[in-house]
Amino acid sequence: MPKIEIDKERCKGCQLCMTYCPKACIEEDKSINKKGVYPVLFLDREKKCTGCSFCAIICPDLCITVYR
């Protein structure tokens, strides 16, 4: 079962990963990080993540690690 790990403290909240996730497994977190922004959160309640790595590839700050 693929999953992703997001470094919430490095995330700048650009939401590019949300835009490029083909299965909509990434959402905005409700809490603010050290940078004062809302980071993203991996939520795959329906187990739709395929481990495609689009999120990790598009992340400009390399905050996302994909596990397959």
Segments forming the whole domain that contains residue 14:
3-67
Q: 3-state DSSP helix/strand/coil percent for the chain, to nearest 5? A: 15, 20, 65
pLDDT band at 1 (very low <50, low <70, confident <90, very high): confident
CATH number of the domain encompassing residue 43: 3.30.70.20
pLDDT tens, 34-62?
Answer: 999 999 999 998 999 999 999 999 999 99
Q: Please state the pTM of the whole predicted model.
A: 0.90
**Mean pLDDT, rounded, of the chain:** 96
Number of domain units in the chain: 1
